[in-house]
Amino acid sequence: MNTKYFLYARKSTEDEERQVMSIEAQLAELAEFAKRENLNIGDVLIEKQSAKIPGRPIFNEMLDKIERGEADGILAWHADRLARNSVDGGRIIYLLDTGKLASLKFPTLWFENTPQGKFMLNIVFGQSKYYVDSLSENTKRGLRQKVRRGEYPSVAPTGYINDVRTKTVVQDRKKSKILKQAFELYAKGNATLGDVSDFLAQRGILSRGGKRIHKGKKAKNEPKVFCGLFSCGECGKMITAEVQKGHTYYRCTKKGKTKCTQPYIREEELDKQLSALIQKVSLPQDWAMELVQMAEEDGKEAAQSCTAFVQEAQEKTKSINVQIQRLMDVYLEQDIEREEYRDRKAKFMSEKKTLEEKIITLEQEQNDWLEPFRKWINTAQNAPKIARDEALFPKKALAKEIFGSNLQLAEKVACVGAPESSKNPENSPQNQWAALRAALQSVGKIPKSQILVPTAGFEPAAHRL
């Protein structure tokens, strides 16, 4: 009886088999072999899947056909094209045992359907499986070693790239800058994760699939706007949020046996109270005008004294230059020794340098404070507007600036005050906002004329010249 063969070629796209012949090459070699050996070829079957695990569709179909008697031989480039796992290898050998498969032909391998031949085939299948297993073990070992060295053992995250040459993960110089900005944007508290996603998309940073980088499916876990702003008035723990029936509620984070007894408060109510607190710290119009005027006068005065100092320093520098010149003359006349000349010159040079540095710092300081002070006056005047506005993120950012970490929530009432445990004047922020609050509290207690002058304690930190 003339054996009918299936011609089976397989190439997987996986790395491990990169060195294996292409399908075209396999087909050409096998056709030539079949002609030379005078083999009767039925179907030509091509598979593009790894043989590491059972379940290759074309391979399974081929064996089913052989079981039904449609052919009784297989021609393949090598036994490892047929099986690299114990199930498929076992099935081939069982078909040989039961006589359904009469012959296997490989150009690279001798096989005869005898007890010795089957024994050899078993060894070849075992070898293929061993190759796959040890490759996977070697890869895992390599990854573990990377982890031990503190290296990232996977595909580089956004902002990094896999350096194929050194097999390490390195920074992507262009993208990492943008990502850093994105983190800073979010950290400021004015942006939602959606905003960050827009920010990245606008700058061409997309996921590996070319899509927008999402905030992830766990939208429930996105921090709510007022998280991290209040502490609990009862136990001092931070106030967190949770969503219930479509509303955001804020509550103490304390859990467990000694549960805090504080009730929940709805976001809308907390927003109202926070707005009220901010409005209390707004800078009155007349104060603002008076302060700007005072600052400008101070600025002028400072500029004048600065100019005077700079002139004086320039005169001094000139005279030092003259002295250096004279010293040089004396030295050239050989009236003093080289060492003495060097010492005295070094002294003059250092004096000159000190003067120059003083001029630079003074000019910088002069430019340093007036602008931020104006900006602050502007923000303080705008506080009521931000408080009335619906946007919650700017409100949070402003509240953080004004109150620092001194906001508390107790019995559904938001208030300002450091927790009992840290009632220490050093813990409350010593900035212009604290000064403004103190000043506003003294309205009606002391004459207005004394509130805005330094002796009343209202002296913004930037206002120091």
Q: Which is nearer to Zn ion, 235 or 320 (CB)?
A: 235
Which CA distances in Å does 154 have to 12, 16, 140, 158? 22, 17, 11, 12
Segment 357 to 396, residues that bind Zn ion, using CB under 5 A = none
Give Cα 34 to chain centroid, integer Å: 59
- Min. distance of Cβ 234 from Zn ion in angstroms? 4
Query: In the complex with Zn ion, which residue's Cβ is closer, 273 or 382?
Result: 273
Nearest residue (CB) to Zn ion, 251 versus 374: 251
Query: x-or-dash pattern for Zn ion, window 393-432, by CB under 5 A?
Result: ----------------------------------------
Q: Which span sits near Zn ion by CB under 5 A: 107-115, 176-184, 190-198, 250-258?
A: 250-258
Nearest approach in angstroms of CB 230 to Zn ion is: 10
| Contact status, residue 46 vs residue 97, Cβ threshold 8 Å | no
Three-class SS of residue 425? helix
User: Nearest approach, Cβ of 258 to Zn ion (angstroms)?
Assistant: 10
Q: Is 246 or 256 the residue whose CB approaches Zn ion more closely?
A: 256
String of contacts with Zn ion for each residue 82-111, x by CB under 5 A:
------------------------------
CB 400, min distance to Zn ion, A: 20
Query: Closest distance between Zn ion and the C-beta of residue 217, in Å?
Result: 31
| Positions in 122-181 near Zn ion (CB under 5 A) | none
Nearer to Zn ion, 254 or 437 (CB): 254
Sheet holding 230-232, edge to edge: 230-232, 407-410, 413-416
Residues 9, 87: Cα–Cα separation, whole Å: 19
Closest residue by Cα to residue 321 from 352, 342, 354, 358: 352
Give the nearest distance from C-beta 252 to Zn ion in angstroms.
3
Nearer to Zn ion, 215 or 254 (CB): 254
Q: How far is the CB of 231 from Zn ion (least distance, A)?
A: 8
How many whole angstroms separate alpha carbon 30 and alpha carbon 44?
10
How far apart (Å, rounded) are the C-alpha atoms in residues 12 and 386? Answer: 62
Q: Quick one: how many helices (H) and strands (E) in the chain? A: 13, 12
CB atoms within 10 A of CB 68: 9
* Of 258 and 364, CB closest to Zn ion: 258
Residue 106 DSSP class: B
CA dihedral of 120, 123, 124, 128, whole degrees rounded to 10: 170
Sites for Zn ion among residues 181-240 (CB under 5 A): 232, 234-235
List residues bridging with 248 in a β-sheet. 243
Which of 135, 260, 288, 440: binder of Zn ion (CB under 5 A)? 260
Nearer to Zn ion, 261 or 361 (CB): 261
Q: Which is nearer to Zn ion, 260 or 277 (CB)?
A: 260
CB of 160 to Zn ion, least distance (A): 41
| Strand spans (E) along 136-246 | 160-163, 168-171, 230-232, 239-244
Q: How far is CA 289 from CA 30, 59, 450, in A?
A: 94, 87, 16
The only residue of 63, 79, 96, 252 in contact with Zn ion, by rule CB under 5 A: 252
Please give the size of the binding site for Zn ion, defined by CB under 5 A.
Answer: 7
Q: Which residues neighbour 267 within 8 Å (Cβ) at sequence distance 6 or greater?
A: 224, 225, 226, 241, 247, 248, 249, 250
Select from 216-224, 249-257, 361-369, 454-462 the region that touches Zn ion (CB under 5 A). Answer: 249-257
Report how far residue 197's alpha carbon sits from residue 213's, in angstroms, rounded to the nearest whole number: 6
Q: Which is nearer to Zn ion, 21 or 410 (CB)?
A: 410
Rg for the chain, CA atoms, rounded: 41
Query: How far apart are CB 235 and Zn ion at their closest, in Å?
Result: 3
- Return the range that interacts with Zn ion (CB under 5 A); candidates 91-99, 121-129, 257-265, 397-405: 257-265
CB of 232 to Zn ion, least distance (A): 3
Residue from 254, 266, 400, 437 that binds Zn ion (CB under 5 A)?
A: 254
Minimum separation from the CB atom of position 159 to Zn ion (A): 38
Please say which residue, 205 or 232, places its beta carbon nearer to Zn ion. Answer: 232
Binding to Zn ion in span 339-358, by CB under 5 A:
none
What gap in Å lies between CA 345 and CA 342, rounded to an integer? Answer: 5
Instruction: Say which residues have a Cβ less than 8 Å from residue 178's Cβ, sequence separation at least 6.
Output: 200, 203, 205
Name the site residues for Zn ion (rule: CB under 5 A): 232, 234-235, 252, 254, 260, 262
